A and B are shown apart, each in its own frame.
Chain A
Amino acid sequence: MTTEVKSKSNRPKPFLLPQYCKGCGRCIVSCPKKCIHFTGEVNPETGCVPVAVDYEACIACGTCFNACPEPYALHPDDIRYFWELPQEEQAQAPREVLPVASPHPDQRLPLPPTQPLMIKGTYASAIGALLAGCRHFFGYPITPSTEGAELMAKILPHIEGVFIQAVSEVAAVNYMYGCGGAGQPCMTFTSSPGFSLMLEGVSYMIGAQVPGVIVNIMRGGPGLGNIAPEQSDIKLVCRGLGHGNTHALALAPADPQEMLDLTMEAFRLAFKYRQPVIILGDGYLGQVTSQVRLPEYMIQPGVPEWAVAGDREHRANLITSIALDDRDLEAFNMQLNATYAQMAEEEQRADLFMTDDCEVLLVAANTPSRMAKGAIRTLRAQGIKAGLFRPITLWPFPIKYFLPLLERNLRRIVVVEASHGQLEDELRLALSHAGVTELPPIGRVQRLGGILPQSQEIVEAVTAMEVQG
């Protein structure tokens, strides 16, 4: 395969491996002694015509080494890589052992007891992120999510964290790709139009298995829509999370306390599954102020074994979403599907309110679920036994908590939402996958355009359905 060549001086001469030579001829042009030439014979392995060196004429000037674009085609003859040695010698050859990362788990740091805070929903979410160990924020201002970013801009520089206002939402999510790829918990706040822009990046995060938390304070759409609350992106998050075979855990808080708790939880889940997690809020939830209790601990993040952390033990790591070989890509998608299945099995969450004896089951998420609770109080006063099923995970839909309710004496299901059936579709799809064919009638109370269904209109709608039978 190769011939041993001895240098006449102490400088190394070029050593050519013809199977790695593509015959570009850059070395020929660079050689001052014109001692490199094309062999004129096609190499059967490569289909290229490699060069050859006239060692009698070569003065070992070394110019050709840096003319060759290939790492291994033309190298100094005082080097032998292990793979150039005969098979039996390869095992003995000194080889670099690539570092293997050891676990550096998160630390839970206990917090002293404090009085509850009185804060709005977006602030609660930001504080939840800080307590989860997030010290890196990337975002682009968009109403009605901006206050979360503003609080981060105010706090992070004072606790040695990093706040970057990105040039766009597209850039923001890709900052997260880099930061999350380095194994650091990071986040963004955005709202519906901005979330649309981020979806390409979300698909890349899923494909490259990069954790991160995206808080989407949903607003009225389509297009520019308005800045008032709508549940406009349930479909996008559950069924259209960028291109490809994508899903992500989607959490739907209903009050500022949950904004904090679920944001903290989102970071845990993001790193548990090495995937992005979406928090879906609504503009109303972002603005509402109430009491928020802090947890008993905060997180000091560790360094995940897979992270590109810029040190020796993580040097072998790679973050990418490419799998050029179709079998490799199918295998990766099967692995993703297994992750999705595990999420569906382990992460379904729901809140049941007065469902023990309920005959009319309201289904609502986010702020409309609070309006629904208000309606339930009035309906019960009127003698209608109403209850609430509130999905906390929108994906996966918490069907395993819903199915037992069907065994009760349900007269009807009423989906209350600030969108045109996006929540109802998730419910129906989950029921269909669960093989449920017999259902009580499904009624609906929907408002759009930034108007939330109010308790009184829910009461009136349900009462009317009950009268009609």
Chain B
Amino acid sequence: MNHVFYETFTRHNHAEGIKAHSTHYCPGCGHGLIHKFLSQSIAELGIQDRSVAISPVGCSVFMYYYMNVGNLQAAHGRAPVVALGQKVARPDSIVVSYQGDGDLASIGLAEIISVAQMGLPITVIFVNNSTYGMTGGQMAPTTLIGQKTATCPDGRTPSMGQPMKVAEIIAGLDGPVYVERVALFDAKNRMRAKKAIKKALEVQMAGLGFTFIEVVSECPVQLKLDPVKASEWVQEKMLPVYPLGVKKDTTAEITEPPVINRPPYEYQSLFREIGTSDHQVPRFAAGFPSHLDSEDVGIKFAGSGGDGAQTAALLLTRAALQEGFDSTHIPSYGPESRGGTSYADVHVAKEVLSPAVPNPHILVAFNAPSLVKFAPSVLPGGIILYDSAVIFEVPPVPEGVKVYGIPFAEIAQNMGKRILKNVVCLGAFCAATRIFPEDTFLESLRHGLKKDPKIQEINRQAFFEGIKAFHAAYPQA
């Protein structure tokens, strides 16, 4: 068989009567011819089983009644992304997005341009008949200046939009490899149209890239012309605006065709990318730090962006999880997060209920505004740890709250890396709160920071500097 039309069009009105073997197109419509050339090309190339046709919204919405290939019908204008979604899902398929001028050149402009630029091997057939056929002959992006339609009854003027020369636009993009405009009005041009469609499919089969065929076509009913006159009108009126020919062909120059991945579905590579580990982390703590709270300790780290509050909070969360407790970290996320502030709430609990920490047991403040803001919210008997290198005045605190100042920034500066101040802080935090043993934090640092041994070592040193500074400043604590 030299075509791939269904033997019987069972989807066309349940194949009742003559609809079993005839199309829904009006006399003289170009769609039937374009379907025929696509159908013949698929048959001649032997790709019927691999082919997938995307029917658009417009008169050709029912292309799937006729084409005996895999069929998807797309929303208005979205056929190119539906086509590409299908293609990347099944890279062996040969996908054709078939679209009219309202579908492609109006509502679907973003889709066609972006998909064309991606250059992946699919084929788009664009039918330009200068009007909206299905909805009853309204102005299309391709309507000619002066042409009368239902929505430009006095003729299109430039301010309604100039005729869109889509093939030239697509050819002007870097993504496509083959763009041609063809027509249907005589035998010679029909042969060219067929040849172009077949070539586009061959280019796709070779995986070379994105191909685009614009077909200047007849819509006699909406042009209010008989079919023969409509063909003449296309030739006389449309061709000067939409000149035929190859607009771009770089297929001979392609040396590295685009690649579409085919996933192997094995866990090894997935685990590598996720960063899973079967390393059993040792535990060092004797039990839950119940000297801070019997079941749920809330900690707030507060500073500005760059202080490392989030990293310190995550290292603490990791430490708690290593010890087998429940723990959460949440960066501040609300109106108060404006202006470069960076707050983090951490729970170390037997079971975390609410992850927010409106009233912390422990507050760590990296700057004065944070201390002023959160000091009053600390629970009675709680702990405040602040950077005394940058905070010189301590506001009144709730009764029984212990306040410790350690110059994190200065210690880090003396080590030559101010960025280490949050790890210095973590050392002081460990010493001041005795929440977990030192080894718990060291293990957390090993797994939570970059694996570079030099970085590991300097962080380790910073952590011990923090501990040392705390014991020097508060020997009785």
Contact = CB atoms under 8 A, between A and B. Distances in A.
Contact of B73 (A29, A82, A133, A208): A208
A175 B27 contact: no
A22 interface: yes
B190 interface: yes
A167 B13 contact: no
Contacts, number: 338
Nearest to B93: A310
B358 to A, nearest CB: 6
B282 to A, nearest CB: 12
A374 B353 contact: yes
B84 A175 contact: yes
A176 interface: yes
A298 B270 contact: yes
A133 B266 CA distance: 10
A456 B359 CA distance: 10
A83 B8 contact: yes
Contacts of A81: 7, 21
A123 to B, nearest CB: 9
Interface residues of A, number: 118
A80 to B, nearest CB: 12
Interface string A150-189: 0000111111111010111011001111111111101000
Chain B interface secondary structure, helix, strand, loop or mixed?
mixed
A95 B64 CA distance: 20
Contacts of B327: 290-291
A200 B114 CA distance: 20
A341 interface: no
A26 B21 contact: no
A126 to B, nearest CB: 9
Interface size class of B (residues with CB under 8 A): 35 or more
Contacts of B18: 19-20, 45-46
Nearest to B5: A71
A178 B228 contact: no
A130 interface: yes
Contact of B50 (A29, A179, A311, A451): A311
Nearest to A161: B263
A289 B21 contact: no
Interface stretch (A111-119, A331-339, A343-351, A396-404): A111-119
A67 B25 CA distance: 15
A4 interface: no
A318 B50 contact: no
Contacts of A182: 52, 85-86, 89-90, 93
Interface string B331-351: 101110000000000000000
Interface string A283-325: 1100111110010001011000000111110110111111001
A370 B73 CA distance: 44
Contacts of A262: none
A178 B354 contact: no
B329 interface: yes
B96 to A, nearest CB: 12
A258 B236 CA distance: 65
B354 A167 contact: no
B359 to A, nearest CB: 8
A159 B78 contact: no
Nearest to B232: A29
Interface in B75-109: 75, 78, 81-90, 92-95
Contacts of B220: 24
A96 interface: yes
B129 interface: no
A115 B279 contact: yes
Interface string A64-76: 0011111111000
Contacts of A19: 18, 22
A167 B331 CA distance: 30
A167 B175 CA distance: 15
A320 B22 contact: no
A178 B82 contact: yes
B476 to A, nearest CB: 34
4 closest pairs, A vs B, by CB?
A310-B93, A178-B85, A69-B32, A374-B354
6 contacts: A69-B31, A69-B32, A83-B21, A136-B89, A228-B335, A318-B73
Given A71-B32, A171-B110, A450-B335, 10 more contacts: A25-B28, A71-B3, A83-B7, A136-B85, A179-B88, A182-B90, A287-B330, A289-B317, A308-B52, A322-B73
